[in-house]
Copies of this chain bind each other. A is one copy, B any other.
Amino acid sequence: MKKLSIIKIGGNVIENKQELSTFLKLFAKLDGLKILVHGGGKLATQLATKLGIQSKMVAGRRITDAETLEVITMVYAGLANKNIVAQLQAHKCNAIGLSGADGNMIQAHKRPVTEIDYGFAGDVDDVNKNIISKLLKADLTPVFCAMTHDGEGQLLNTNADTIASEIAIAMSAFYETTLYYCFEKKGVLQNIKDEDSVISQINNRSYTKLLNEGIIVDGMIPKIDNCFYAVERGVEKVCIGHHSMLATKDGLFTTITL
């Protein structure tokens, strides 16, 4: 099986032109088949503010009303995606920018309304691994923004972490996949006050222990649960850390396996 890397970058990189440029140089140099997944970070909120649209958040999640969906479509699929693609092209990486609607690559459904109506937020149903594989075979590097569609004409805002893991899971049918979650920190920390106290390996058993000891808490729990969700469904391993981990494979970052 050929290897395939799926890399998700955080909003902090998208927002910062210098950081983004550094990351894209790194990404372009990365050997082998690869897929990039991104959101739009604060860029969408900034545009919404300029347009006088209030960003509504509930429990850390954006409520995507019709106006907000337009902003997200402009920022994620337009501004962020096409600038990333143009820059990767300059580094001789043959990138192709995509939303989940393009080529029907990521099908989703509007999240059902319960106590909260998330608006046009999409939960992924299916990733079209065959068409993504065709792009990879044509020497193209897919760059997905965090949008999907319902197949009935509706675009949907979808969490970029979820898109990355669903793509990695689907592509595991054809490739040996590694999923990289890039964020500000060097990895999962043993001691929250020590930025270098990175736990290098977490598996199912050690995760239970880390949870019981209260070392992994709060927002880190859903993040790691999402990683286990991926490795339990065929992804070889998930790496969490700063994007510089892509350059130095023996550097500090956390690897999650079964």
Question: Which of A90, A101, A152 has the most C-beta atoms of chain B within 10 angstroms of its own C-beta?
Answer: A101
Which one of A80-88, A176-184, A230-238, A246-254 contacts B? A80-88
Residues from chain B with Cβ under 8 Å of A90 in the complex: 151-153
Cβ < 8 Å to B, chain A residues 119-146? 131, 134, 138, 140
Interface residues, chain A, CB within 8 Å of chain B?
A: 47, 50-51, 70, 73-79, 81-83, 85-87, 89-90, 94-99, 101-104, 131, 134, 138, 140, 147, 149, 151-155
Q: Is the interface of A mostly helix, strand, loop or mixed?
A: helix
Q: Which 4 A-B pairs have the closest CB atoms?
A: A78-B78, A74-B74, A90-B153, A74-B78
Q: How far is the CB of A22 from chain B (nearest CB, A)?
A: 14
What would be 17 A-B contacts, judged by CB atoms less than 8 Å apart?
A51-B51, A70-B79, A73-B78, A74-B75, A74-B79, A76-B78, A77-B77, A77-B78, A78-B78, A86-B101, A86-B154, A89-B101, A90-B151, A96-B102, A97-B98, A97-B101, A134-B138
Residues from chain B with Cβ under 8 Å of A50 in the complex: 51
Task: Report Cα–Cα, A112/B254, bound state, in Å.
Answer: 50
| Interface residue from B81, B138, B149 paired with A89 (Cβ < 8 Å) | B149
Q: How far is the CB of A230 from chain B (nearest CB, A)?
A: 26
Residues from chain B with Cβ under 8 Å of A87 in the complex: 153
Q: Is B89's CB under 8 angstroms from A97's CB?
A: no
Q: A73-B79, A77-B78, A78-B73 are in contact. Are A96 and B103 (CB under 8 A)?
A: yes
Task: Report Cα–Cα, A90/B104, bound state, in Å.
Answer: 10
Q: A51-B51, A94-B104, A134-B138 are in contact. Are A99 and B85 (CB under 8 A)?
A: yes
